[in-house]
Structure 1
Amino acid sequence: MKFFEYMAKEVFRERGIPTPRGRVAASPGEAAQVAAEIGAPVAIKSQVLAGGRGKAGGIRFADTPDQAREVAAGLLGQEVRGYRVERVLVEEKLQIDRELYLGIAVDTARKSPLVIASVHGGVNIEEVPEKDIVKRPVDITLGLYPYFARGIARRLGLEGAIARQFADILTRLYRIFRDYDAELVEINPLVISGDRLIAADGRLNIDDDARFRHQDLPEVSEATELERRVREIGLSYVELDGDIAVMANGAGITMATIDVLAEYGGRAMNFLDAGGGAAVEPMAKAMAVLVSTNPKAIFVNIFGGITRCDDVANAIVTVKQQQGIPVPLVVRLVGTNEDKGVAILREHGIEAFRDMGEAARKAVELARQGGER
């Protein structure tokens, strides 16, 4: 579960990590009020669960409360990185002398927390050369002691009061990481502003499997409206950026389906795992959702075990009869009740494939033809 920036900063402040003065606003008027309270100029930051907001125009500045109102009005209700902006964070505009990066993540290979730090923070952190990034695993049985944090500061070339502040922030950040069962806690940038270090941004991602230990935390979902709609049916769905709608039964086969489409030059527009044993009704609803997304083709890839091929075939036929399937449909059916499923589809003019590669190639071919019309 990801926290919005303003939520992460609330945790930071509670744990003694310096952050800019400000608060979240849900309307232009509220944004103007916050700007008047803390004093302009201010930064106005879209609160969406996506990185790269600055490059996408989701972070802007205002010199007066009236400007803050105008800027907030231009951001609220808009989309940034595919997410609708429902709140903005209005906070003091910092004097930035230097930008650092500081984060702690789960290193799955080492099975330990990993401290990541650099003297090159900010919007282009992903472009920083590996040689300029300090990475140090933490022995989870020992924890992160001040001497460890001071060592990281020395590796970054920090000195004096800034080095001491950095070490203090890192030890506090580690306590947040452990106490919240985090997968990632990050400050980018960690700003040197005069003689102070300030967390100008913040991320806190909590392990979903540990959510039961944090019942007091707010529920935050990064799902889009379409993703929420399909998940309400009881199926796993993630939007992607392709043009071929995909449904398969199981996470592994769904990922394999996306990969094999890519192998033949196609792009999936979604990940839809119908799971094992999904009934006709939810599968029909899922198929109807796929049709409603206006893909160039639909590829249904079923390897029946618990899932019965005849149930899949009946779900497809239900959608065809009730609302129609106005785009090319490619079905691959293998497994339990395969012959029944294939026979049902043939009765309604739908051919089924046995080979996944052959079916994927056909789906890509039909999607291209659809794009040319």
Structure 2
Amino acid sequence: MKIHEYQAKALFREAGIPVPEGKVATSPEEARSIAEAFGTVVAVKAQVHTGGRGKAGGVKIAKTPDEAARHAGNILGMEIKGSTVRKVLVERGSDIAREAYLAITMDRSSKAILLIASAAGGIDIEEVAAKTPEKILKRTTTTGTFSEAELAPVAQALFDDPGAAAQIVEITGKLLGLYLKADASLAEINPLVLTGSGNVVALDGKVTVDDNALFRQPALEALRDFDEEVPQEIEAREKGLSFVQLDGDIGCMVNGAGLAMATMDMIQIYGGKPANFLDVGGSSNPEKVVAAFKIILSNPSIKAVLINIFGGITRCDDIARGILESFQRISIAVPVVVRLTGTNADEGLALLKGSSLIPASTFAEAVVKVIEASGGVVREEMKS
């Protein structure tokens, strides 16, 4: 679960991490009042869950209250990567001398907590990793803590200032504490800045909370902004489905997260573009299939659908009944490719015989057929 910058900074403040003073505004008049109260240069920042705010014109510096109001008026209602700006954060300007990057996340390959730091702050860390990987420093821990001896050289590398380094060591410890307390998957400061007066401040912040831990984080779950979430993802969660919207045109309905990810990978490798991740889970309830179809087809970009089921606990005949029920209750105007294998697969395929569905026996055959059905072109090297 993502939260807004102003919410992340509130968590930082509670954890003892220095952040600029700021308040949220939902109108130009509010922005003007906040800027007047601060009596300084302010930053007016769009509050959306997506990145790229600065490049989109969603972050502006204002020297006067009237300028703050004007910037807020331009930013509010702006569309940034599909997200509508409904709030802006107005905060005191900072005298920036240096910028760095600092984050805590999970390294799944080593099953350890990962510290990422770089003196190249204020820009996309993925871009830094791709172009200048030597500028990124990493440390891992499996004990939930870093020693000062581990952090000191990292801190020194960021700003090369003894006073700043001591502050970074302290901030890193607090960021790690917040990461653990919040059941976060990411706690990021970008940029972490050294001001002209020698203070280290979190100028921007991002916290992503593990959805699977929200049951024990009610205070954090209350921060959820449903306006920022994809409606289909909300509906899927309510129906007990795992769904993530993507930007392709081939809908995917699969059972099991591993097979669902493999299906998306195969479509991409063969030359198609998956439109979603959708795991119907281990249930054989036909109603889940109907709900899954409705969610997938609510995306106007869909040109074809691939149903890829490996029957273990899931019974293929029940999935087939759900598919037939969907065709009776929903207008399905796109080609649907079906691959059923495993428990009761023969019974399921028998139920679907004579329908307009496109059957496939193998994984590769299913992928080729759905790409062709969507009007796409299978890569030459993948053709057998």
* Fold-level similarity (TM above 0.5): yes
Aligned mates of 2:56, 2:216 — CA distance in 1? 35
C-alpha change, 1:63 and 1:104, in structure 2 (3 Å) is same
User: What is aligned with 1:19?
Assistant: 19
What is the aligned partner in structure 2 of residue 274 from structure 1? 280
Counterpart residue number, 2:201:
198
Q: Give me the CA root mean square deviation.
A: 2.5
The number of residue pairs the alignment matches comes to 369
Q: CA deviation at 1:148?
A: 4.1
> Which residue number in structure 2 is paired with residue 87 of structure 1?
87
Q: Alpha-carbon deviation of 1:154?
A: 2.8
2:356 counterpart of 1:353: no
Unaligned runs of 5+ in 2: 378-384
Q: Aligned equivalents of 2:357 and 2:112: distance in 1?
A: 51
Which residue of structure 1 aligns with residue 382 of structure 2?
Answer: none
**How far apart, CA to CA, are the structure 1 residues paired with 2:241 and 2:211?**
18
The match for 2:65 is 65
CA gap of 1:3–1:265, structure 2 versus 1, over 3 A, is: same
1:116 aligns with 2:116: yes
1:44 and 1:68 in contact (8 A); partners too: yes
Corresponding residue for 1:322? Answer: 329
Provide Cα deviations, 1:146-200, integer angstroms capped at 9, x if missing partner. Answer: 4543332334452243233333322332332343343332211111220222110
Residues of 1 paired with 2:295 and 2:142: CA distance? 47
Query: In 1, distance between residues paired with 2:272 and 2:142?
Result: 44
> What TM-score, normalized to structure 2?
0.86
The residue number in structure 2 matching 1:31 is 31
Tell me the amino acid that sits aligned with residue 252 of structure 1: G
The residue that corresponds to 1:239 in the other structure is 245
CA distance in 1, matches of 2:116, 2:252: 37
Go from structure 1 to structure 2 and tell me whether the alpha carbon gap of 1:137 and 1:251 turns closer, same or farther (over 3 Å shift): closer
> 1:54-109 CA distances to partner (integer Å, 9 max, x unpaired)?
22333233333333333333333443233333322111232222211122223334
Q: Distance in 2 between matches of 1:209 and 1:230?
A: 15
Q: Which letter maps to 1:292? A: S
Query: What is the aligned counterpart of 1:363 among 345, 353, 370?
Result: 370
Q: Secondary structure at the match of 1:135?
A: strand
Q: Indicate which of 178, 181, 184 corresponds to 1:179.
A: 181
Aligned-partner SS, 1:216? helix
**Residues 182 and 339 of structure 1: CA distance in aligned 2, closer, same or farther (over 3 Å):** closer
Alignment of structure 1 residues 40-189 onto 2, 5 Å: 40-128=40-128, 129-138=132-141, 140=143, 143-156=145-158, 158-189=160-191
What letter matches 1:87 in structure 2? Answer: K
Does residue 288 (structure 1) correspond to residue 291 (structure 2)? The answer is no
2:139 alignment partner, SS class: strand
What secondary structure sits across from 1:97 in the alignment?
strand
C-alpha distance in 2 between matches for 1:330 and 1:139: 45
- CA offset digits 1:90-141 (Å, max 9, x no partner): 1123222221112222333444333322221012433332222222334627
Q: In structure 2, what is the equivalent of residue 217 of structure 1?
A: 220
Distance apart, 1:284 and its partner CA: 1.0
Task: Determine helix, strand or coil for the equivalent of 1:174.
Answer: helix
SS across alignment from 1:357: helix
Deviates more, 1:19-28 or 1:160-169: 160-169
Describe the shift of the 1:279–1:92 C-alpha distance in structure 2 as closer, same or farther (beyond 3 A).
same
Deviation at 1:46, TM superposition (A): 2.0
Contact 1:31–1:68 under 8 Å retained in 2: yes
Once structures 1 and 2 are overlaid, which stretch shifts more, 251-260 or 9-18? 9-18
**1:230 matched residue in structure 2:** 236
Distance 2:79 2:231 in 1: 13
Contact 1:105 1:185 in 2 (8 A): yes
What residue is the counterpart of 1:335 in the other structure?
Answer: 342
- Correspondence for 2:263: 257
Counterpart of 1:327, as a letter, is: V
Which secondary structure state, in structure 2, belongs to the residue aligned with residue 204 of structure 1? Answer: strand
> 8 Å contact 2:272–2:376 — kept in the other structure?
no
| TM-score, with structure 1 as normaliser | 0.89
Q: Deviations over 1:37-58 (max 9, x none)?
A: 2235322222222333222333
Structure 1 residues 8, 361: CA separation in 2 closer, same or farther (over 3 Å shift)? Answer: same
SS across alignment from 1:217 = helix
Q: Which amino acid aligns with 1:83?
A: S
Report the residue type matching 2:340 in the other structure: L
3-state DSSP of counterpart to 1:368: coil
- Amino acid aligned to 1:158: D
CA distance in 1, matches of 2:354, 2:123: 57
3-state SS in 1 of match to 2:375: helix
Q: Deviations over 1:1-57 (max 9, x none)?
A: 333211221122223322112112233332232222223532222222233322233
- Asked whether the equivalents of residues 335 and 358 of structure 2 are also in contact (C-alpha less than 8 Å), the reply is no
